Structure 1
Amino acid sequence: MSATPLAASKPSPWLHFVAGGLGGMCGAIVTSPFDVVKTRLQSDLFRQKHPVVNVVGNGASGVVMGAPRPSNLLYNFVETGYIIRDIYREESFRALFKGLGPTLVGVVPARSINFFSYGNGKRIIADKFNDGKENSWVHLSAAALAGIVTSTATNPIWVVKTRLQLTQGDKKVLGGSWHCIQKILREEGIRGFYKGLSASYLGVTEGTIQWVLYERLKRLSESMDGQGPVGRWVGMLGSAGTAKLVASLITYPHEVLRTRLRQPSVNGVLKYTGLVQTLRLVIAEEGARTLYSGLSAHLMRVVPNAAVMYSIYEGLIKWSSSRP
């Protein structure tokens, strides 16, 4: 396993915080509609109301009760487009940005904390345990630490975002966060804000895989001869998108489990109460394939999101390092 020395020019620790938050904010705004679709497809509440989407698109809604539902990946991408269309037609354009308020409130600190923890964590770990050199083990340790810190700090925000995205209609799309917070506090207490935290910790593996793979692909791209500035930039974008794609495909089921755990109660009854219980119940009632519900919308969101986020982050870091 190769090891590389740390860059001679060290960016200020706060720059990781600012660059990560800015990149996360831009990516979240651009890809918000896909996030709404993904959350609804992951939830059995939405699946009960809209069990089948007709590709032919009869009628205004494109929903045909009882028709066979194709399950191939290509159809899933088509289905995502139809759901976006139906949300726009039946609920309004604003509904495509449901949960964007808490998403931004969550994304900015989450990405800031994650990039801050990772960027500075890998330097500290390398300095203390690896003679000041980076390698894949340093990247893995820093990524795991950053994931745990980020998940713990921001879980309440994601619970509110999920609850908002599971409501249908155009009621208080961006202004309902406070009402949602009060409802959770009143009905579930403080513990309600930490629903899905166990699945979030399970999802730390996704961030770990993503960071390690991104670092390896980025170094491979940078080592290629004959690249100009544009080529290096394209290589970085490809590295970020590819790393997120692979990490998402490997770890996606935790996303579905986390959404189910964050669902509101129905008639005062919580259907999903624990990580293992949720996994068993989903497989028993809906089959293992359901663990990949919403995958197409998720990939359509997170891959370009990662490219935007990492490009802004790397750009600011390189700009800081090049300053005299």
Structure 2
Amino acid sequence: CNCLLLEELVCLFIDFSSNTLPWIDHLPIPKIRQTLCFLYCNGLMDHIYVCQYGASCTSWYKTPTHFSGTLDAFVKITRNEGVRSLWSGLPPTLVMAVPATVIYFTCYDQLRDLLRYGMGFQGNYIPLVAGGLSRLGAVSVISPLELVRTKMQSRKLTYSELRVCIRSSVAQDGWLSLWRGLGPTVLRDVPFSALYWFNYELVKAHLCDQYNVSQATFSISFTAGAISGAVAAIMTLPFDVVKTRRQIQLGEMETLGVPVKYPTSTWHIMRGILAESGYRGLFAGFLPRVIKVAPACAVMISTYEFGKSFFQKMNLDREQRAC
């Protein structure tokens, strides 16, 4: 859990910009009703400010900010909202990450051993199947918490405002609305995990043969995790863009105060992104996602393998002393 906390602290601000960049250029500009309210947008979030008669709002109104890249997003977000905003959504991220990691890694090990030793299957496809199924179970359980985290990062909402958003969405669309974005999340994470474990086992076996070791060392696990994580992240990035866009739609109508209609189908959203931005739009946020995923996968798998080896050795020593 300590290594998980450190990883989340380091990677969350990169995830924040990756959630921001794919969506920021596609926010709709609603027609403002003839009231005392108008929309103020700084490129990251939308607010409705009420100005009294005769009061000037120009002192705090700014032109919407656009991010030209990851570094530009870091600088402008820090300057406009402070360094702490880069870790926006940390509590639900930690609440989500711990059970997701426990479910994911435990299910993978159990399924892999079941397929290999319990059912007698052999071949390189075993990590692919076990990784995909274990991720499917994890994302199904954790999807509502990821939706909350993404919403908190995309819009600066207080917990009470976020609660209102969720309640209105549940009242309008039912409890299944909490799993909004599950489809593209599954399309992103299940292939990602399948590709990740498939490549990880291959790269790890190759490195073990190259360095003539029977068991992977920390550095071998770290290298194999980084390589396989980067490859899987690039191949599944379009689904991550779709997932982020769909989750940010939660409560958009209530927050903006205007009717905003969005397509709900994953393929409709993909076609819309292609029409607006071409294939580059499907790979928006490429750099921050790879920068986040590659080291995160490397840290998680290397510490997991090290911890598993450590406790296996400790249990073996305990059994030998007992005999």
Query: TM (normalized to structure 1)?
Result: 0.77
Quick one: which amino acid aligns to residue 140 of structure 2?
A: T
Larger Rg: 2
Aligned to 1:277: 268
1:103 to 85, 93, 104: 93
> After the TM superposition, which residues 107-186 of structure 1 pair with which residues of structure 2 at under 5 Å, given as runs?
107-130=97-120, 135-168=123-156, 172=158, 178=163, 181-186=166-171
* Counterpart contact for 2:208–2:214, Cα < 8 Å: no
Secondary structure class of the residue paired with 1:293? coil
Query: Per-residue displacement from partner, 1:181-229 (whole Å, max 9, x unpaired)?
Result: 4454345431221111111221110110001111111111122236799
How many angstroms does 1:124 deviate by? 0.9
Q: Higher relative contact order at CA 8 Å, sep ≥6: structure 1 or structure 2?
A: 1
* Counterpart contact for 2:93–2:149, Cα < 8 Å: yes
Secondary structure class of the residue paired with 2:217? helix
- Supply the distance in 2 between the matched residues of 1:159 and 1:210 (Cα, whole angstroms): 23
1:291 to 271, 282, 290: 282
1:320 to 293, 308, 311: 311
Aligned to 1:190: 175
Question: Is 1:36 matched up with 2:16?
Answer: yes
Query: TM (normalized to structure 2)?
Result: 0.77
Over 3 Å counting, the alpha-carbon distance change for 1:176 and 1:240 in structure 2 is: farther
- Supply the distance in 1 between the matched residues of 2:281 and 2:272 (Cα, whole angstroms): 11
* Counterpart contact for 1:38–1:298, Cα < 8 Å: yes
How many angstroms does 1:130 deviate by? 2.0
Query: Per-residue displacement from partner, 1:226-267 (whole Å, max 9, x unpaired)?
Result: 6799x9322221100000001111111000011111122342
Identity score, percent: 23
Aligned to 2:191: 205
Aligned to 1:243: 228
- Supply the distance in 2 between the matched residues of 1:246 and 1:319 (Cα, whole angstroms): 29
Unaligned runs of 5+ in 1: 1-20, 52-62, 70-75
* Counterpart contact for 1:46–1:166, Cα < 8 Å: no
* Counterpart contact for 1:98–1:164, Cα < 8 Å: yes
Aligned to 1:94: 84
Over 3 Å counting, the alpha-carbon distance change for 1:234 and 1:180 in structure 2 is: farther
Question: Is 1:218 matched up with 2:204?
Answer: yes
Query: Per-residue displacement from partner, 1:157-204 (whole Å, max 9, x unpaired)?
Result: 111111111114xx64x8876555445434543122111111122111
CA RMSD after TM alignment: 2.8
Quick one: which amino acid aligns to residue 191 of structure 1?
A: L
* Counterpart contact for 1:110–1:150, Cα < 8 Å: yes
Query: Per-residue displacement from partner, 1:29-48 (whole Å, max 9, x unpaired)?
Result: 21111010000012146767
How many angstroms does 1:23 deviate by? 4.7
Secondary structure class of the residue paired with 2:196? helix
- Supply the distance in 1 between the matched residues of 2:131 and 2:312 (Cα, whole angstroms): 22
